Amino acid sequence: MSSEVHIGLVVRGHGRHYVVEREDGTRLNCLTRGKKSEAVVGDRVRWARSSEHEGVIEGLQPRRNLLYRQDEWKTKSFAANLDQLLILVAADPVFSESQLTRALIAADSAGIDARIVLNKTDLPGAAAARQRLEPYRDMGHEVLELSLKAQPQASRDVLQPYLQDRATLVLGPSGTGKSTLINLLIPDAQAQVGEISVALNSGRHTTTTTQWYWLDAARRSALIDSPGFQEFGIRQIGAAELASRMADFRPLLGQCRFANCSHRHEPGCRVLDAVQSGVISASRYRIYDELWQELNSTPHW
């Protein structure tokens, strides 16, 4: 076959098997040369034909960014070359502020804009959810409110301006309405997943991988669905860096008495003063303390 090298977009992957989209929008199955590949959905890759219907990935093009999580044991990448992250939470079930904060920190570390999406605002728990998100609004995070099942058209209208001409990853735990959001914006999403499942011969495993969808015929706006998660490690962040990744802590940094202040017990700490006066919420500070201890412990790798 031809050894000519082309550039393509990874739209799905499983193990060494990838679906790569060519410049004309058609797709083909590609393998990697080695047993392991660093390619993730959203990557631009160099590929060459290996047969009439398949290709081989020769290497990666430079990335703008990479969103990933890292715990004590392993690193899990979500996607590359993103323009924004939508972090989906819901009025029910009650969302974890710790997981929300971890996702925001990971996005900030990767240089990716992030917005919070509150779904199920038609349910009785909406008022409590809004109140819990108030500190995030105050620190500058935009919060979009949706009711995907009860008001699908209104939800679509809220989302559309934010999705235009962007590659957007939707992130959130099970039960928040992520599948509802995907199916609302991409009516043939399940069909696309089925087609790629057959292409990769990955069966049930496709539900645990990331999927790239185009929202328009011009292929300028994309929505990326990600697998749900129970834990979100941020071991890629050092304990000393943590405060600078939290938007409500950031304005106070450099004002403490000690240059190496951990913001946990030192006298003359502006962050502790802000917690005491209510400028930083007690719940946010508890999350900081929990994360600081986690990141300051010795990893097991």
Query: Is 180 annotated as ligand-binding?
Result: yes
Distance (Å, whole) CA 119 – CA 125: 11
Nearest to 229 by CA among 248, 209, 214: 209
Specify the residue for token string 């392991």. Answer: 36
26 known ligand binder? no
208 annotated binding-site participant: no
Single out the residue of 31, 26, 59 nearest to residue 201, CA to CA: 31
Residue 30 assigned ligand-binding role: no
Q: What is the largest CA-CA distance in the chain?
A: 70
Cα–Cα separations (whole angstroms), residue 47 to 22, 199, 211: 10, 17, 20
202 annotated ligand-binding residue: no
| Residue 119 marked ligand-binding | yes
- Does the annotation list 281 as a binding residue? no
Q: CB-based burial of residue 277 (10 Å sphere; 0-12 exposed, 13-18 middle, 19+ buried)?
A: exposed
For residue 8, the surrounding DSSP H or E stretch is: strand 6-14
The response to whether 173 counts as a known ligand-binding position is yes
- Phi, psi of 136, deg, nearest 5: -75, -35
Per the DSSP assignment, residues forming a β-bridge with 75 are 70
Report the C-alpha gap between 298 and 231 in whole angstroms. Answer: 18
What Cα–Cα distance (Å) separates residue 177 from each residue in 45, 85, 118, 127, 220? 32, 16, 10, 18, 25
Q: Which residue is it, tokens 């008001």?
A: 151
- Phi then psi dihedrals of residue 51, to 5 deg: -160, -175
297 is in an annotated binding site: no
Q: 122 among the known binding-site residues?
A: yes
CB 242 within 8 A of CB 291: yes
Check the annotation: does 177 bind a ligand. Answer: yes
Binding residues for GTP: 119-122, 172-180
Binding residues for Zn(2+): 256, 261, 263, 269
Binding residues: 119-122, 172-180, 256, 261, 263, 269
